[in-house]
Structure 1
Amino acid sequence: MRKKIDKEEQRTDERAPTGLARKDLLGIRELTSAEIVHVLDTAETFRDISQREIKKVPTLRGRTVINLFFEPSTRTRTSFELAGKRLSADTINISASTSSVTKGETLLDTARNLEAMSPDFIVLRHPSAGAAHALARICRAAVINAGDGAHEHPTQALLDALTIRQHKERIEGLEVAILGDVLHSRVARSNLHLLTKLGARVRLAGPGPLVPPELATLVAGGAVRTAHRIEEAVEDADVVMVLRIQRERQTSAFFPSLR
């Protein structure tokens, strides 16, 4: 099993080319509700841009974004590359399978080499929980967590929240059901923190071994509860999220064999 990399508190940097007071986006748990709303409000202003014939603005002109992915990805990687280009940044994509990682180079060694090239942003996806925090400790570039193990996937949760706001016009007071493999889902964890910070209540349901009751304690205040049946979870729910089975993160058998 991969060792969990120790996490460190978020730090700020005067060089940070971001619109927030903090340097990095490592997880939803560290963000305040005001910061989350700020990001969502900013994202709303870009909706019209995506409908234009020329979908480009000069916001990040002269900046360099490195997308550093140690896991397979289609949607997240493509989204970050497209976003960087539409913001006029120079984007560089690096996959572990085609990098010096295949020769035994570690994440931190890779980061130090990239840091020497003075990038402005590093977008990291890694199979180890806490990898983005470890990278942020040694990099002056702003680090964005694009998914670290089963820990967090903050940008996906922000996108989910933006989608909910567009359809429901609010998040506060909503009942949200999250179904499926919650235990191994970094998306679920980030959504638990984000939705409850903005005043929603969350119900969790799925196969028993994949929705242990202690998941409800990840967030204080009783805003999260587990349901024994999917029908119970979705009853009167305003929003339903469905997660796939995260087989690549399962270290033991969670279902009885049919053989």
Structure 2
Amino acid sequence: MTAQQLDSNGRLRHLLTLEGMPRPVLEDLLEKAQACHDSAIGRAQDGRQALAGTAVCTLFFEPSTRTRSSFTLAAQRLGADVMSFDASTSSAKKGETDTDTLRNLEAMGVRGFVIRHPDDGAVARLAGVVQPGTCLLNAGDGRSGHPTQGLLDMLTIRQAKGADFSALKVMIVGDVKHSRVARTDLHALRALGAGEIRVCGPANLLPGADDPVLAGCTVGDDFDAMLDGVDVLMMLRLQHERMSEGLVPSLEAYHARWGLTAERLRRAASGAIVMHPGPINRGVEVTDEVADGSQSWILRQVANGVAVRMAALQALLG
């Protein structure tokens, strides 16, 4: 995958995954994203025409709110011509393949595709059929990856705790097994040299012990015990289908053992930050008091999403 997304000079050709991404490339994207921050939130005009005349398509085969809106705003901030594709109202409903859909749009002059897809590895597969000069950005595929979410999470941690991750204790909590966000964050945290990574949740919602995504992590299901000294808490969304699958007895039972309350947060390190990729199930993963409290960096993550996506688009298409 790394060879597919980097050219012979080590520059990004596509953004497909953070797994195996060289640390200098990852850190360069984070530096670019920080530089885009003021433009991203409308406080500066820098780079407003960087992609003028470039056509970018948000090609979504799966629903999205934050990611799609964030990419659209990012492309517009850079002056790109943005078109939105929704599979539910397209020829995909008539049987057109995703490859043919992409090729038809590419023939219209689209150079950048932001793709969300329900199947693992779908974006990498599509990257194998595009023309030279066309760039793909993975906006989430199956359970495997969501690289810009991982980048915005790392940017948020850097803003809160500094660029040196070596002394940080980071914990990811919840349905790690089915979360592309968790997998992406774990790849990024290892690449950036996080001092200690803890993974916590119900045993049946954690990857198997032989899953390489857990390499080097401390894994357990006792949330209260594992909270001690944590600097960064990443709370994951509990997907409600896990209840219908019998993997979670009830929302109340889940919250009682793995929900973050103000009382529990006091077990973490002084100044610990709370993060969540959204959407939040309030009263399940976190309480209102925590989500809206002074240690919550959740809205900062959302704001950082625009900056990160500006940086990614500019790195690939600029």
TM normalised by structure 1 equals: 0.87
- Give yes or no for the alignment of 1:138 onto 2:129: yes
How far apart are 1:111 and its partner, in Å?
Answer: 1.3
Partner of 1:173: 167
SS at match of 2:187: helix
Instruction: Flag the 1:193–1:183 CA change in 2: closer, same or farther, 3 A.
Output: same
CA distance in structure 2 between the partners assigned to 1:130 and 1:247 by the alignment: 24
Letter in 2 for 1:46: C
Partner of 1:65: 56
The higher relative CO (CA closer than 8 Å, separation ≥ 6) is in 2
Matches within 5 A, 1:1-259: 9-11=3-5, 21-49=11-39, 50-52=41-43, 57-140=48-131, 141-170=134-163, 171-200=165-194, 201-214=196-209, 217-218=212-213, 220=215, 222=216, 224-247=217-240, 252-256=245-249
CA distance in structure 1 between the partners assigned to 2:198 and 2:97 by the alignment: 39
CA distance in structure 1 between the partners assigned to 2:187 and 2:44 by the alignment: 37
Moved more, 242-251 or 34-43: 242-251
Partner of 1:4: none
Output one character per residue of 1:194-252: Cα deviation in whole Å (capped at 9) or x when no partner: 011101121111112001442763254x2x12122111232111100001123458994
Letter in 2 for 1:177: M
Instruction: Flag the 1:190–1:251 CA change in 2: closer, same or farther, 3 A.
Output: farther
CA distance in structure 1 between the partners assigned to 2:207 and 2:84 by the alignment: 37
CA distance in structure 1 between the partners assigned to 2:168 and 2:16 by the alignment: 26
Letter in 2 for 1:30: G
Moved more, 113-122 or 140-149: 113-122
**Superposition CA RMSD, Å:** 2.5
Answer yes or no: is the 8 Å Cα contact 1:178–1:243 preserved in 2: yes
Partner of 2:301: none
How far apart are 1:20 and its partner, in Å?
Answer: 6.8
Moved more, 101-110 or 178-187: 101-110
Instruction: Flag the 1:245–1:90 CA change in 2: closer, same or farther, 3 A.
Output: same
Gaps of 5+ in 2: 252-318
